[in-house]
Structure 1
Amino acid sequence: MRDDALKIQQLLEEIENKNNVLQSCRPLTQGEIERLNESFMVQFTYNSNAIEGNTLTLGETAMVLEGLTIDQKPLKDHLEAIGHRDAFEYIKDLVQEKTLLSESIIKNIHSLVLINRPKDKGIYRRIPVTIAGAFIQPVQPFQIQAQMEVLIEKNEEWKATLNPIERLARFHLEFEGIHPFIDGNGRTGRLILNLDLMQNNYLPVNVKFSDRKKYYAAFDTYFKNDDVSAMTELIGNNLLERINDYINILSYAQTQEDKDDWAPEM
């Protein structure tokens, strides 16, 4: 086995082991969970939008999501933050309802993401596009419908043969390769990624703005060499980091609870 394949295998095994540990931990209170989810949502919204050129800082994103307006920042940036937040809330509902991924679900997610573009939201692009400096060659408009149908069918087939992290990494790469919408493909794709993760009992991940070069390079690796390992590793490392953070939080909470429950004998 090649060193990189062995590395990926070890990463995937560690994720499974740590995720099993996480599932066995005593849960937090509903209020604590909501607070952690809110913090993640702000960071996810900031990073996913920043990758696509949104100029709001993390702090400004948090303020916008609380209903404030940031002076001298474009309305577009405000709407992108709100739309992404609403899209994340939507996929959380889909997880609870155990809704299978479909074209209509993807279009609904995109409609929320592209709240600032009412004429383009939820509609497959009708013009050809190119992505400067990338190996990706998005399909022609007349091919999008068929390619999306095939991708969703393949995703179901992959469930029988691929590790969930490898599968969703491949789906993400293929989705962005089709590039079905005129704008908002990256944000929509990362939301679908998290929908898939949560439906498979994993925590959602936050592809960081600071990791954007690795993220873009993973696309080049795939479309140049048909190699999914770079994206699998990027997603896997982000997921493992979140799992470890959550385990630490739960362990600390349990320690504090045990201290509160303990009382010296009189």
Structure 2
Amino acid sequence: MTNTAYEKIVNEWRSRPLNSPSDVDTVLDNFRVLFAYNSNKIENPDTTWHDTREIFLNGRVTGYTGELRTLFEIQNQKNCYGFLRNKIVGRGAVTPDLIKETHRILMAGCYDEARWDQGERPGKYKIHDYVTGDGVGAAPEDVQVEIESLCHEIEVVPNDRILTAAAYFHLRFESIHPFADGNGRTGRTLMNYYLMTHGYPPTIIYEEDKVTYYMALAVYDKTEEISGFEDLLREQTVKTWSRAPRPGKKLMTFL
């Protein structure tokens, strides 16, 4: 059932024009807010739907009493969407420069004092090791060549293997762990960018499903197996484009 539903969503996605930034805005009108909310909330439980929606739609929130970093993270998601939407239309490749600029926008003002004092900066590859999952990502001195190799790998695959390549990209990116912080949200954003520039619908990894998501990342760390994560992407894509995101409101549905 999931495969059939996923294939239908892919076909419907390809029937919609993405020839201008306004086309992208139309197709991703609700998606961009839901993606930002869920992607941020996976790492930051203080993220709320209300604050995310207010910043995306109105550019501000009122009566906010939480940590300012949370607001920066939301605003950065909005800024990153604005940065990438023109590139989606142009079908630009995922390059090291695009990766670093995406990270710089998503993490602007969000590095903690400890990382900042160590010389880490948004948009720059890490200069120290940071533990991730069951081990440590690529050594800082190896990050550049690892990212360059990954970018090349995902651009030389046949069209019927794009979802597999997207899954591999995300898993490998998180395994490399190229930045001192913000690898998860950067990887999820770029995975969707890659999918859209190759004619496939983007997906939301829902915060409520993050345990399954983390398990898939852990399986790859231990075995380099990607099929489970690829299945999760199909499931999450069906969920993304067929569920009602809020009571009384429905994401543009292809089902």
Q: Is TM > 0.5 for Structure 1 vs Structure 2?
A: yes
Secondary structure (helix, strand or coil) at the match of 2:86 reads helix
2:210 partner amino acid: R
Query: Offset of 1:156 from its aligned partner?
Result: 2.2
Q: 1:35 to 1:93 in 2, by over 3 A?
A: closer
Q: What is the alpha-carbon distance in structure 1 between the residues aligned to residue 10 and residue 73 of structure 2?
A: 32
Indicate if the aligned counterparts of 1:60 and 1:70 stay in contact, CA closer than 8 A: no
Note if 1:44 corresponds to 2:43.
Answer: no
For residue 106 of structure 1, what is the aligned residue in structure 2?
99
Indicate if the aligned counterparts of 1:22 and 1:243 stay in contact, CA closer than 8 A: no
Secondary structure (helix, strand or coil) at the match of 2:205 reads coil
Q: Deviations over 1:177-216 (max 9, x none)?
A: 1111111111110110110111122222111110110110
2:154 partner amino acid: N
How many residues align? The count is: 238
Is the radius of gyration larger for structure 1 or structure 2?
Answer: 1
Indicate if the aligned counterparts of 1:136 and 1:220 stay in contact, CA closer than 8 A: no
Structure 1 residue runs of 5 or longer lacking an equivalent are: 1-9, 253-266
Counting aligned pairs with the same residue, the percent is 24
Deviates further, 94-103 or 211-220 = 94-103
Secondary structure (helix, strand or coil) at the match of 2:138 reads coil
Deviates further, 64-73 or 168-177 = 64-73
Q: 1:249 to 1:101 in 2, by over 3 A?
A: closer
Q: What is the alpha-carbon distance in structure 1 between the residues aligned to residue 100 and residue 5 of structure 2?
A: 34
Deviates further, 47-56 or 16-25 = 16-25
CA-based RMSD of the aligned residues comes to 3.1
TM-score normalised over the length of structure 1: 0.79
Q: What is the alpha-carbon distance in structure 2 between the residues aligned to residue 209 and residue 101 of structure 1?
A: 25
For residue 49 of structure 2, what is the aligned residue in structure 1?
58
Deviates further, 70-79 or 188-197 = 70-79
For residue 122 of structure 1, what is the aligned residue in structure 2?
123
Secondary structure (helix, strand or coil) at the match of 1:207 reads coil
Q: 1:91 to 1:242 in 2, by over 3 A?
A: same
Q: What is the alpha-carbon distance in structure 1 between the residues aligned to residue 253 and residue 222 of structure 2?
A: 42
Structure 2 residue runs of 5 or longer lacking an equivalent are: 112-119, 245-250
Secondary structure (helix, strand or coil) at the match of 1:38 reads coil
Q: What is the alpha-carbon distance in structure 2 between the residues aligned to residue 25 and residue 104 of structure 1?
A: 29
2:225 partner amino acid: D
Q: 1:138 to 1:32 in 2, by over 3 A?
A: closer
For residue 261 of structure 1, what is the aligned residue in structure 2?
none
